[in-house]
Every structure is written in C-alpha cells, then in structure tokens.
Amino acid sequence: MLNAREIVWKPAYEVGDAVIDAQHRELLGIANSLIVATAEPIEAYLKLHEQVRSHFAHEEALMRRTGYPGQLHHESEHARLVDLLTSVRGNFSGGAWGFESVRSFFQSWLIDHILSYDAPMIRYVRSASAEGDAARRAA
Ligand SMILES: [Fe+2]
Ligand SMILES: [Fe+2]
C-alpha cells in the first residue's frame, strides 16, 4: 500500500538503461522507507548509503568505459550528493525534520540528479554505442 508521502516513480524518470533504471527504482524505494519512517530509520539510512555508493561506482565505470565528456562534472555531483546524504543523517533523529522537508530533499537529491545528469549521460552512451555499431558494420 502506497503511503501518500512517498515519491512515486514515473516513466519520465527512466533513462533507458535497464540496470541503471532498476538501481534508481531501488534507491527511490529505500528513500521512501526513510520518508515514511516514524522512528529513526538507521538501517534504511545505512542501506541507502551503501546502495548509493555502488550505484555511483557503476555509473562512473560506465562513463570511463565510454569516454563520456561530462564525467568530471558528473562525478563531482555524485561526491556532493554523498556529502549531502551524510549531512542529512543527523536531521532524522528526534524527528527534527518534518516529512515534507525529507520528501523534498529526496525529490531534488535523487530525481533532479536522474533528470539533469543521468539521462543526458545515458543518451550519450547509447548514441556512442550506436555509432560504434555502425562503424563496425561499415568496416
Ligand atoms: Fe544515477
Ligand atoms: Fe549519476
């Protein structure tokens, strides 16, 4: 049963890479468990941290493999997001944050990053691999 506070996944958030889309949905699921938590959600928080790190490592390896020109910028945004997630931890204890502020934090922290950074990166990766396929066919 969906809690009204949860951030709902939309098809518009899909970047077109099955692995990365699945990872994003999983991150959103964990973020939602933080959003609706009524006690300090320390386990969900630690799980989110761990999944975020492995997700970012996956994207960074993909950028390296394909020579994505926006890699440095994207990686520094990942580092900023990890710092933000770290800094937000204390705000959950004692219910110091209302649900709306936690929700809007994840909305911008996760969804804005997907739309502004991940989607253009995947578009590049897909067109680069399509060009590679065409070049191989022409050779
Ligand atoms: Fe991502
Ligand atoms: Fe990213």
The model's pLDDT over 63-98, given as tens digits with 9 standing for 90+, comes to 999 999 999 999 999 999 998 888 777 666 555 555
**How far is the centre of ligand 1, averaged over its atoms, from the C-alpha of 43 (Å)?**
21
Nearest to 35 by CA among 83, 86, 109, 105: 105
Judged by its nearest atom, the ligand closest to the C-alpha of residue 74 is 2
The predicted pLDDT at position 94 comes to 59
**How far is the centre of ligand 2, averaged over its atoms, from the C-alpha of 77 (Å)?**
8
Where the chain has pLDDT below 70, the residues are 1-2, 90-99, 101
The predicted pLDDT at position 107 comes to 87
The predicted pLDDT at position 18 comes to 96
**How far is the centre of ligand 2, averaged over its atoms, from the C-alpha of 129 (Å)?**
19
The predicted pLDDT at position 97 comes to 55
The predicted pLDDT at position 92 comes to 65
**How far is the centre of ligand 2, averaged over its atoms, from the C-alpha of 137 (Å)?**
31
